[in-house]
A and B are shown apart, each in its own frame.
Chain A
Amino acid sequence: MSKDQKNMREKLERLSNSLADEIDAMTDEEFQSELEEAGEDITDIASRTRTLISNAMENIGHKKLIAARAGYEHHKSAGHDNILQWSHKRKQKLINQFSQDDNYFEQKLTMAARNEGDSEFDIDSIIEDLIELGIIDDKGNIK
């Protein structure tokens, strides 16, 4: 961008800011009568403004969604396979320690275990999640 172009843009920004300030300072009645004098359809302007705002919000939201997708893909590719090389009993004890603070979780954990015969894979995956969330360290110590 040349210096002249930059100056021109700054002038335009100043002009649009001062117009916006002027509109902000008007009462609803003053604004309405000015528009009527200029032969504008207020309902149409309101509707166009609403669409403009709603489109802008959608665009911002969509950018957030794209960023979240990218974040998810990055997290997935990073890999988090922390499994403790412990005996099954020791792992179970660790999970029981964690779950005893939450009655509902403890009850469901017991039910799930009873249901399917205490899967080692499930226990490993819970430990993996606890490490990933920083609830325990990679040596199995509760933080």
Chain B
Amino acid sequence: MKQLSPAEELLKELGITTAGDIDIDAIAYHVGAYIKYRPLDGCDGRIIGADDRAVISVNNRIIPTRMRFTAGHELGHWRHHRGRSFICRAEDIGNPLKGPLDPERVADNYAADLLMPRYLFEPLANETGKTNFKTVDQLRKEFQTSITATAIRLVEYGPESAMLVCHTMGGRKWFYRPKHIPDKWFPRNDLDAESYAIDVLYGKMERSRRVLMGADAWFDRWDAKKYEVFEESCATLNNEILTFIVFKDIEMLELE
């Protein structure tokens, strides 16, 4: 049996066996934190704790999936950084650019585990058989999560070996590569002219189809020309696009 994370242990303790049971307000209340949805100007989320009780504030002017993730993020602080109070701005929450030990990243990981626990997410993801945005749509409806958070999770626990790259007009913003993909596959900063991701970035289409592309369109490595990958892009909020790069050749996953 796979080891459960602290968030998953909490879900098990509360007998949660379906995505629909993940009642974030009740879960928070069970661990002594009361969630208030209120307008906040300087941040998206905040937690103030004293002894074994805390009040979590979530900005109610953000989209519902973001509110849910923010609540999970603050609960992450409550689990891992008890005794301290946190004010979390938009860029602190759901930001893959933060280092793994950064308290905000730790809280993000907790939120992902709480809202999309592996023991519920993996079987549903594997049923679909594909790491693509159609699967993301199905799963985010189930788990009430954002496109970005669900896509990251799908790359982590999905049925295919893939990585997720985020681009803006300024180039690559961040990327998420699961542990089993060798780090020699480092995505290029700029988009290749042949890639359909460009059309999505420039607003010609909301989403591109999943197509085969030469791996050298995505990776600036001498041997990239030998391989092909599937690419599929999707526009998200804030003028960003997400692209799944799915590894078709098993050889690409071999370490040097």
Contacts and interface: CB of A to CB of B under 8 A. Distances in A.
Chains A and B are bound partners? yes
Interface of A: 57-65, 68-69, 71-72, 75, 99, 102, 104-105, 108-109, 111-113, 115-119, 121-122, 125-126, 129-130, 132-135
Query: On chain B, which size bracket covers the interface?
Result: 35 or more
Given A75-B34, A133-B53, A122 B14 contact: no
B191 to A, nearest CB: 31
B15 A72 contact: no
B41 A61 contact: no
Contacts of B25: 69, 72
11 contacts: A57-B15, A63-B15, A104-B103, A108-B89, A112-B89, A115-B42, A121-B40, A125-B40, A130-B48, A133-B53, A135-B50
A112 B46 CA distance: 11
A115 B14 contact: no
Given A75-B29, A108-B88, A125-B57, 18 more contacts: A62-B14, A62-B15, A65-B26, A65-B27, A68-B23, A69-B29, A72-B35, A104-B103, A108-B89, A112-B43, A113-B42, A115-B89, A122-B41, A125-B36, A129-B36, A132-B34, A133-B49, A135-B50
Contact of A69 (B26, B40, B43, B53): B26
B209 interface: no
Interface string B54-94: 11010000000000000000000000000011111100000
Given A61-B16, A69-B26, A109 B87 contact: yes
B14 A133 contact: no
A68 B10 CA distance: 13
B30 interface: yes
B86 A129 contact: no
A64 to B, nearest CB: 6
Question: What DSSP secondary structure best describes chain A's contact surface?
Answer: helix
Interface in B6-54: 12-17, 21, 23, 25-30, 34-36, 38-43, 46, 48-50, 53-54
Contacts of A113: 42
A72 B34 contact: yes
A126 B48 CA distance: 8
Contact of A64 (B13, B43, B85): B13
B17 A58 contact: yes
Nearest to B31: A68
- Counting chain A CB atoms within 10 Å of each CB, the highest count among B46, B84, B89 belongs to B46
Given A109-B87, A134-B50, A72 B42 contact: no
Contacts of B17: 58
A98 B92 CA distance: 22
Given A58-B15, A61-B14, A129 B57 contact: yes
Contact of B84 (A58, A104, A118): A104
Nearest to A129: B55
B15 A60 contact: yes
Interface centre among B21, B29, B40, B50, by most chain A C-beta atoms within 10 angstroms, is: B29
B14 A65 contact: yes
B178 to A, nearest CB: 29
A48 B226 CA distance: 52
Nearest to B57: A125
Contact of B27 (A68, A99, A121): A68
Contacts of A72: 25-26, 28-29, 34-35
Contacts of A122: 40-43
A64 B15 CA distance: 8
Output the residue of B13, B21, B25, B42 with the most chain A CB within 10 A: B42
Given A61-B12, A62-B14, A105-B84, A129 B29 contact: no
